[in-house]
Structure 1
Amino acid sequence: MDVRAAVLEQGGAPLVVLDDVDIEDPKPGEVAVRVKHCGICHSDLSIADGVFPSALPVILGHEAAGIVEAVGAGVTTLQVGDHVVLTPCPPCGVCPWCVRGEWSLCVNADSMLTSAHPDGGTRLSRHGEVVYRGVGVAAFAEMVVIQANGAVKIPHDVPLDVACVVGCAVQTGVGAAINTAKVQEGDTVLVMGAGGIGLSIVQGARVAGAGRIIISEPDAERRATAMKLGATDAVDPTSDDLVAAVMDLSPHGIGADFAFDAVGRSALIAAGVEATRKGGTTVMVGVPALDDPLTFPLPALMAMQEKKVIGSVLGSCNSLRDIPRLIGLMQSGQLDLASMITGRVALADINTGFDDLRATTGIRTVIDM
């Protein structure tokens, strides 16, 4: 079946909207989902701009929601007509990482790097040539074929245009605070960057009961949004000494319990190490460019003070458990996802959405299919 999709044919070039991408029927254990809405994530931008390498041509997009259109043999958890949020890390439940409870490190997550299904196929082609499925979903298209565990059922009354951001930004950010860092009541948290991921971390820290949530963000409008969503203090890193500000704001002047780099810059990771207390933890949520090496400030002091730096992939989420939980938090008013969506474009205007992300215009742009 031919579907309409935005295809990246060359890194650094605009995406091209095509009407003749062929998508296969779902195989056993898979489902076909008609995509209704998809957010534009910075990971998509990094591939589009050639910062991260990818097989080409590729369909990007991995923060999506839609409706199940067909189910493959053996699928019992979903049926046609179900509303679902898609996830780039569908947990298999049986690999060495899943059995250890490290769901976001499941072997299925390798699809984000291989741009193919676990069996090596992509289910996508054009004129007989392979088209790759970027970041494990390929949702800048009218239809995707995904493993059944990669489509998580949500209630029909949840707006899909809002639910889509749970697929990446909200899982990643809220999960980083609750699952990866395990923020506790009263903790002091520093969040560096107030895009979709950073604002989700702020909200996750608030839900966890953090006592102080300090947002560091150069854009005044984003700082204001972070304060609305739960930050207690705001710092402009272009004019303020970030580390000094965190020390001043933290109880006893000892620094933050947790610092989160929500941007993906080695300089911010280093700043987080400096801004955390003895025994504190810096969480790498954003992914630095390949040519942005990390240099730790005073490694000997880090060792003596037991400071820690850890990574976080998709918020260490088990999507089958956490997507319904996050939707529930939204329904109860504990998470404000609608405020994070500041732009909407049609698929034909997808490059405008990418330009807005490059210019840090707004927070999250959602494509309406």
Structure 2
Amino acid sequence: MRAAVLEQPGAPLSVVDDVEIIAPRVGEVRVRVRYCSLCHSDYSVVKGTFPVAEPIIVGHEAAGVVESVGPGVTHLQPGDAVVLNAIYPCGQCYFCQRGEHSICAHATQALITHALPDGETGLSRQGRRVLRGVGVGALAEFVVAPAASAVKIDADIPLDLACVTGCAVRTGVGAVLNTARVVEGATVLILGAGGVGLSTVQGARLAAASTIIVSDPVAERREAALRLGASHVVDPTREDPLAIAYGLTNGIGVDYAFETAGAAALIELGITATRPGGTTICVGAPPFDQSVTIQNAVLFASMEKKLMGSLLGGAHASYDILRLLAFWRAGRLDLASLITQRRPLAEINEAFADLGAGKGIRTVIEIG
């Protein structure tokens, strides 16, 4: 099949047509990928921030059509339109049994290893194994995946819009509704206004937050944040987000702070910006070498502040993808505004260059 392969971190991706992919096995499906939008996590692998030692196909925010199903798969059939998911519930592990589907042991292990849950990748090229990047490996004509990771959607939903629900929208909206469970009338600070940050803005609007403050250095993204529901925007190169947050909350701090840019320093800023009893949610994915320091642990504890992680919005894939698309149908969630460019697979390196330079919000790659 045709795919964009990264041979080593930091090198350009090569669009090749000789990647071999297995047929679906028991409990698996093969999906013809139509669209895959680019996420910063993919960029981190490409640039070596999240290092890998083998050839890899990245891309995990994707939608397509089921081509074939393996034995035992009954809820999907060829021709079904689906959104692919890096994290999905196996239904059997310790975490799934406790309703913590977003940290399913099988799916998170596959996400970390860039392989299928059994350790195989199902991909090879010229005799070498190829990794299934960020849990999916969707910058390719086909993906073989556990059937539970492919969520069937209505056939009339445009796949180029649906693909962004696989990560960005699911992550941002889910961080608000599932992880933080933002209450009506709350005050919210969002640090970063990329695809995930702008989805967090929309989540805060859906939750009926009273004040939604968004900090981002890119003017285009601040303007988009205002269109999508932010009440105030901050240029952190010219203003102090902390001072703005305290100024808008009568000096007590915000109820919730969301770090969505993948920078540990912004997590620390969020902790400082929240009020006593407030919550900071880590939504972005900082580099492995970045750590968070709580300057005064006893003060943090005595003020009853909270620090939470959120993986892909704490979502249950088969429920939340359909919920997000229902919001879109009802006009309550804007997917189209997140997509600022579309490119063919042949222009994958140009698309990643734009992502690295902070140009646009989401670029959707047309696979076929």
TM-score category of the 2 structures, normalised to the smaller one: over 0.9
Rounded Cα–Cα distance in structure 2 between residues aligned with 1:144 and 1:29: 14
Structure 1 stretches lacking a partner, 5+ long: none
**Length-normalised TM-score, structure 2:** 0.98
Matched residue of 2:2: which SS?
strand
Contact 1:274 1:297 in 2 (8 A): no
Aligned mates of 1:27, 1:5 — CA distance in 2: 21
CA shift, 1:309, in A, is 0.9
Deviation at 1:244, TM superposition (A): 1.2
Whether 2:213 is the aligned partner of 1:214: answer: yes
Q: Does the 8 Å contact 1:273/1:297 carry over to 2?
A: no
Bigger shift: 235-244 or 356-365? 235-244
Deviation of 1:90 (Å): 1.9
Residue 74 of structure 1 corresponds to which residue in structure 2? 72
Give the aligned partner of residue 175 of structure 2. 176
Q: Distance in 1 between matches of 2:296 and 2:243?
A: 17
Question: Which of 93, 106, 111 does residue 91 from structure 2 map onto?
Answer: 93
Partner of 1:162: 161
Following TM superposition, by how much is the alpha carbon of 1:236 offset from its aligned partner in structure 2, in angstroms? Answer: 1.2
Match of 2:302 in 1: 304
Cα distance in structure 2, aligned partners of 1:325 and 1:56: 37
Aligned equivalents of 2:353, 2:364: Cα separation in 1:
13
Query: Which residue of 2 is the match for residue 13 of structure 1?
Result: 11
The runs of at least 4 consecutive aligned structure 1 residues that moved more than 2 Å come to 297-300
**Cα distance in 2 for residues equivalent to 1:173 and 1:189:** 13
- Do the aligned residues in 2 keep the contact of 1:172 with 1:315 (CA within 8 Å)? yes
Q: What does the per-residue CA deviation read over 1:54-97, in whole Å, with 9 as the maximum and x for residues that have no partner?
A: 24100000000000000000101101000000000121111111
Q: CA deviation at 1:172?
A: 0.5
Q: Distance in 1 between matches of 2:228 and 2:186?
A: 17
Q: Distance in 2 between matches of 1:210 and 1:133?
A: 38
Alignment-mate amino acid for residue 179 of structure 2: T
Q: Deviations over 1:16-47 (max 9, x none)?
A: 11100000100010000000000010000001
For residue 343 of structure 2, what is the aligned residue in structure 1? 345
The alignment's TM-score, normalised by the length of structure 1, stands at 0.98
**Equivalent position amino acid for 1:140 in 2:** L
CA contact (8 A) 1:215 1:223 kept: yes
Give yes or no for the alignment of 1:233 onto 2:232: yes
Amino acid at match of 2:20: D
**Which residue does the alignment assign to 2:261?**
263
- Structure-1 residue corresponding to 2:151: 152
Question: How much does 1:114 deviate?
Answer: 0.6
Q: For 1:218 and 1:296, how far apart are their aligned partners in 2?
A: 25
User: What is the Cα-based RMSD across aligned positions, in Å?
Assistant: 0.8
Q: How many residues align?
A: 366
Q: Aligned ranges for residues 1-369 of structure 1 at < 5 Å?
A: 3-107=1-105, 108-250=107-249, 252-369=250-367
**Equivalents in 2 of 1:271, 1:298: separation in Å?**
14
Structure 2 Cα separation of the partners of residues 55 and 122 of structure 1: 14
Deviations 1:268-309 (A, max 9, x none): 011101100001010000111112221123222111101111
- The amino acid that maps onto 2:113 is T
- Once residues 79 and 220 of structure 2 are traced to their aligned partners in structure 1, the CA distance between those partners, rounded to angstroms, is 39
SS in 1 for 2:269: helix
| In structure 1, distance between residues paired with 2:13 and 2:265 | 31
Distance in 2 between the 1:205 and 1:99 partners? 29
Instruction: Kindly provide the amino acid, as one letter, of the partner of residue 352 in structure 1.
Output: E
Whether the aligned pair in 1 keeps the contact of 2:8 and 2:53 (CA below 8 Å) is no
